[in-house]
Amino acid sequence: MQKGINNLIEKFGASDLVERRSGLSFITVDQTKAVAAITHLKDIDGYTVLSFITAADWIEDGKMQLTYMLNNPAEVAEIAIRVMLERKKEAGESMETIHHLWPNAKKWQQELKEMYGVDFPTSPGVNDSFILEGWDDMPPNRRDFDTKQYAEDTFFPRGGRVTHDPATYMREQLDPKDPQYYTKKKKKDINS
């Protein structure tokens, strides 16, 4: 078991440990203890690099999952802290900021606010637009955002889009009279 995990379980009540391979573990920490656990990992256990923060929308379970990927360069080990937030119907889940630990966290948090609607109050510039400019709809990476519908309503779709099953389509193109000819031939070849 990699460094720091025992501490997480004993001191911060972490659960659901998943070891993907040696040096990569996922573990779930309660929302209220997450920042303390991350601080502990950074200051004491040597996980000094914040690789990224990302989110996943578990719409069926009513959860919004945050993942903090921390890296320990000395031990070549990574640990991912998962935090399950209660998902709200309208965007606006709230999480404590960690920009005091890593200044680059504020950009990740700004992006999460924009794309997932997870709010990080007191994170500097969290409400500024980052990738989307002038977006006035629901955050687009939430699962209940219908991107196809949005594109159809907003842009000017050109008619005539059709989808073909490649195998059937190629057979029809090769021999329109007997679309199954090449399939039959192939089977015959195998049998003989």
Partner 1 sequence: MEEKKDKFLAPENEVRQVSAPDGSIIEVDPLKDYFSQEKPEPYKVGSGPVENFLNWARAESLWVLGFGTGCGSIEIPPLVTPRFDMYRFGVQMRATPRQSNVFIISGYLAIKTLKRAIRAYEQMPSPKYIVALGSCTINGGMYYDSYNTINRLDQYLPVDAYIAGCMPRPEALLAGFAELKKLIKAGKGHKANEYVENLEWYKTNQKKIIKDWNMPDYNW
Kindly state the smallest distance separating residue 141's Cβ from partner 1, in Å: 10
Rounded to whole angstroms, what are the CA distances from 124 to 50, 51, 109, 119, 164?
18, 19, 9, 12, 49
Q: Would you give the end-to-end CA distance of the chain in angstroms?
A: 57
Closer residue to partner 1 in complex, CB, 21/148: 148
96: left (phi over 0), alpha (psi -120 to 50) or beta: beta
| Shortest distance in whole angstroms from residue 158 CB to partner 1 | 4
166 binding partner 1? (CB under 8 A)? no
Residue 156 Cβ vs partner 1, minimum distance, rounded to whole Å: 5
- Residue closer to partner 1 (CB basis): 43 or 146: 146
Kindly state the number of chain residues that form the binding site for partner 1, as judged by CB under 8 A.
Answer: 22
Strand runs (DSSP E) across 45-91, as ranges?
Answer: 49-58, 63-72, 77-86
Q: How far is the CB of 153 from partner 1 (least distance, A)?
A: 10
Give the nearest distance from C-beta 132 to partner 1 in angstroms.
Answer: 7
Residue 71, judged by CB atoms within 10 A of its CB (0-12, 13-18, 19+), counts as middle
Rank residues 27 and 126 by Cβ distance to partner 1 and give the closer one.
126
Residue with tokens 């039959």: 184
Return the SS3 of 10: helix
Contacts of 102 (CB under 8 A, 6+ apart): 50
- The interface mask with partner 1, positions 114-153, x = CB under 8 A, is ---------------x-xxxxxxx--x----x-xx-xxx-
Which residues sit at the interface with partner 1, rule CB under 8 A? 129, 131-137, 140, 145, 147-148, 150-152, 154-158, 160-161
